[in-house]
A and B are shown apart, each in its own frame.
Chain A
Amino acid sequence: MLAVFRKELLTYFTTSVGYIFMGVFLLISGVLFTVGNIFGMSSDYSAFLGGLIMIFLLVVPLLTMKIYSEEKRQKTDQLLMTAPQGTMGIVTGKFLAAGALFLLTLIITGLYPLLLSFHTKMDTAQIIGTYIGFFLLGLSFISIGIYVSSLTDSQAGAAILTFCVLIITWIIDFVASFMPVTPLAGAVFALIIMALAAGWMYNATKNIPSAVITAAVGVALTGILFLINQDLFINLIGKTLSWFSLTRRFSDFPLGILKLNAVIYYLSFSGFFLFLTTQRIEKQRWS
């Protein structure tokens, strides 16, 4: 893990990727800060960080597009996968390297509130809280990027797809508000999920009985729950979709509220995608 972490971090700085990421991020955030906070004479720094999320959506694909696709294209994954290292460790090493570069960039932006503090009294705790939230959000974005990169051997493809997925997580709350809220719609949605699970089961095991059992259990469970308590299915689609809304949980941080459940949400979200990436890579040995 450490070997991969060191190598990835080094590669960010021996190639242009690290500089482009930091340069673009710092340039745009600098412009926004100058226009919004200095010319606008505002000391509301948290609002500024909230606005940065959009820029971050744009530059995260830069950070992660190469991370696995390039290994596959150059066939260097052969070195990693035949080394006495676990795949989870390798994936985590790459994730931490991207996270470290992001952290470094964030630390540089720490100069902005420092500048403001010469002129006005700043709420330090609130700024630190926002930074923590922003960092956790970034880690989640990066974990999505790494997973997408492991799906393809084209850098450009990985970048575009990552960007699309991130945009979707960003607007998903908005989409969710248009979903039907009736219990029946929720139940149908649950059944579709069960069907997908059964299909996945069949795809993974090539075993028809196990897929049928999965589907039957799913349908039975949905039916029973629907009869017992219909309220469970009210707005199920919207609730499920907004589970994927990464930005919604960020909104508490700029208020200076450090919610444990939001922290755990971000960390487990990242962990889940790293796990998916590991599975995806391990599966290549068996295909």
Chain B
Amino acid sequence: MIKAIDLTKRYGKHTAVNKINFEIAKGEIIGFLGPNGAGKSTTMNMITGYFAPTDGQILVDGENILSDPEKTRGKIGYLPEHPPLYLDMKVDEYLKFAGRLKKMSSEAIAGDLNRICELVKITDVRGRLIKNLSKGYRQRVGLAQALLGNPQLLILDEPTVGLDPKQIIEIRNLIKDLSEDHTIILSSHILPEISAVCDRVLIINKGSIVASDTPENLAQNLAGMHKLHLQIKGSEESIRAALESLDFQNNISMTGSSEDGVMSVVVEAGKETDIREDVFYALAQHKCPILQMRPLDMSLEEIFLNLTTVETGGNE
């Protein structure tokens, strides 16, 4: 549905987005992930036509967005980073205005408004001035604006910012429901959110895509190592002897812990091996009881940090 070819945006000498390429199929939910200033919002602004790319092009349904911008913009519902709200308007007035901007008829707006206000749960504030609403409600009014007219493509820039945990879950479920008949691009710096909702993650850093895969694959491929965190009762030497008797390539780091005579140990092993049983038997032989064992899977968070700090270290 969307294809970006060598998409580039420069502000003067600063390159915000540098030759990125991606393709998004109909019905997919894609997450843009990246630190602040990575180029997520700029990329979204280019897809929605707010900015024109300096170089490269964006195709929506196979058509360059610059060839008929008004038509393309009509297919897209956009929630920018700062919801574009007129603070002096009432929620209802604002949404009606947004509907008219999208060239909807009055009847269509009236019908759609009831449905969407129920969906994002703002029915009870429809008569209030936007400036009197809390951040969470404003965010949802912005989301309602994006959903108006049922556009095929939804672009949501950090849709859950400012919401409380319960609302975040509601919005997340809403996005999942919407994904059945919409293509959705969302950005976030909250990693669990991306992994909970998205089919695919694009990790963007310093204007380039550094990884693109499903959240699960990213976790698997990039984790590299299995790590175990152990609390073991025994002396440092006997624990080390027990663990070094195991025949896999391992890396042991040991620190003392708050409990007397208990060591806190982290063991690493190759990614396809499950070492938990071997570790148990080896330590049992050396009469070092395991008090606690916990696998340390590399979280999306760590992958993200790895990708955005290590790999790009040499580039710039």
Contacts and interface: CB of A to CB of B under 8 A. Distances in A.
Interface of A: 2-4, 6-7, 10-11, 14-15, 74-86, 285-287
Interface of B: 11, 45, 48-52, 70-71, 73-74, 76, 78, 80, 82, 84-89, 93, 97-98, 100-103, 145
Given A3-B97, A82-B73, A83-B73, A76 B86 contact: yes
Given A7-B97, A79-B145, A286-B52, 12 more contacts: A6-B97, A7-B89, A14-B89, A74-B85, A76-B86, A78-B84, A79-B98, A80-B101, A83-B101, A84-B74, A84-B102, A285-B52
Contacts of A4: 101
A76 B100 contact: no
Contacts of A84: 70-71, 73-74, 101-103
Contact of B49 (A7, A79, A81): A81
Contacts of B48: 82
Contact of B101 (A3, A77, A285, A286): A3
B86 A11 contact: yes
Contacts of B76: 82
A116 B76 CA distance: 58
* Centre residue among B48, B51, B84, B103 by max chain A CB count within 10 A: B84
Contacts of B101: 3-4, 79-80, 83-85
A14 B80 CA distance: 25
Contact of A285 (B51, B84, B87, B102): B51
A10 B85 CA distance: 15
A198 B77 CA distance: 42
B100 A78 contact: no
A16 B92 CA distance: 20
Contact of A82 (B50, B86, B97, B103): B50
Contacts of B50: 78, 81-82, 285
Nearest to A4: B101
A6 B11 CA distance: 35
Contact of B88 (A15, A285, A286): A15
Nearest to B47: A82
Contacts of A83: 73, 98, 101-102
Nearest to B54: A286
Contact of A85 (B70, B80, B89): B70
Contacts of A86: 70
10 contacts: A2-B100, A3-B97, A74-B84, A74-B87, A76-B85, A78-B45, A78-B78, A82-B73, A82-B78, A285-B50
Contacts of A285: 49-52
The 8 closest A-B pairs by CB, nearest first: A3-B100, A84-B74, A79-B84, A83-B101, A76-B84, A82-B48, A84-B73, A78-B84
